[in-house]
Amino acid sequence: MAVGADQWPDMHSVKGFRLGTTKAGVRYPGRRDLVIMNWNQGSSVAGVFTLNKLCAAPVVLAKKNLGNSPEYFVTNTGNANAGTGQQGMKNAQAVTGALAEMVGLPADKILPFSTGVIGEPLPVDKICAGLPTALESLSGDNWLHAAEGIQTTDTRPKGSSCQFEVDGRTYTVTGISKGSGMIKPNMATMLAYIATDVNIDQSLLQSMLLDIANLSFNRITVDGDTSTNDSFMLVATGAAGNEQLTGVDIELFKQLKVAVTGVAKELAQAIVRDGEGATKFVTVKVEEAETVADALEVAYTVAHSPLVKTALFACDPNWGRILAAVGRAEIDSLEIEKINIWLNDVALIETGQPATTYTEEAGQQVMDGEEITIRIQLGSGVVTEEIWTTDLSHEYVRINAEYRS
């Protein structure tokens, strides 16, 4: 399945879930920039949000309203409504209040989301003026337009969808995401929305979502910056008609978790593949760690190293930069004589020393590729973890230098 590629993947409609969009002119002339999502009453809704302590007003309000059995999401792009103080909260409430009045619901049934430039006042009038058109376009087949409507510096929409069968009944999982820069989710400028027609208890859905976030959106980094607005939402409409799931030992729950995890991973990796200025998709895999925390500390230390990232961009097999990054990871169980490192299948370090089989030509061949795996073996335990990242290019600097111009 192609995700985040030039060809949009086949997206299955989710029974009981609808999406509508419009061009409200928030920041980008002529682009879809306002998205409304709605689902059947009685659906279960779960969410995971950024841990940035200065999170945006819409995140604060969405977290507050999540426990009120919400029925709508409203997302604007082009403006993050972050760093906007009390007025930012009033503006977020003005948008949810306007939508609530239009659909005849209390305002606390609406969850707002914003993405874009930090520190600028939200253009409430433009957003509210666009709400009726977005409502009129609500449809179960609107996934592509919705994916386009949540983009900022993204170069393409990102979507993923699958179906699976249990006991003769077919179930659907479909989702979209946005993100290209300011990407190091910690939850959870990324947003992700996934919907399924499975009937599942809300508390069980929330618990499942936390696990899935840690296997997908919490395993990606483009530039190491955690946004003020990161949100990952999961809606289960129950429209498939199964008996409500309340336990983890049921086959349908197991299959649902596999399906949602797969969609979430594809959406997360699509964000990395579309990283600002990225020319490489890089997997950093750490094996034989003592703990998950140790594995991720090593992986992120390598992935966030500007020297490693620029070497990747330059296609330079300067493996000393990788070794140095591993060595400065803040873990107690690191012993140099146990370390093995590979670029794809090319051995760089064996038991802490340069691999006798390594040649510059073999390293260069790996670095010239668009997809690279840096595999690091610590020799101190049995834990394996991997994350996905990019290189750091001239284009990344240009995009972010010109972001507000």
Distance CA 198, CA 273 (A): 30
Residue with tokens 């950024």: 50
Backbone angles phi, psi at 213, to 5 degrees: -60, -40
List CB contacts of 245: < 8 A, sequence separation 6 or more: 198, 199, 200, 201, 204, 252, 253, 256
Amino acid letter for position 372 = I
Total number of residues shown for the chain: 405
Residue 195 tokens, joined: 């919907």
**Terminal alpha carbon distance of the chain:** 36
**Per annotation, catalytic residue among 153, 174, 189, 390:** 189
DSSP label at residue 243: P
List CB contacts of 123: < 8 A, sequence separation 6 or more: 26, 79
Pairing of strands 44-49, 158-166: unpaired
Catalytic, 189? Answer: yes
Distance CA 27, CA 166 (A): 45
Distance CA 101, CA 233 (A): 23
Residue 108 tokens, joined: 């606390």
Active site residues: 189
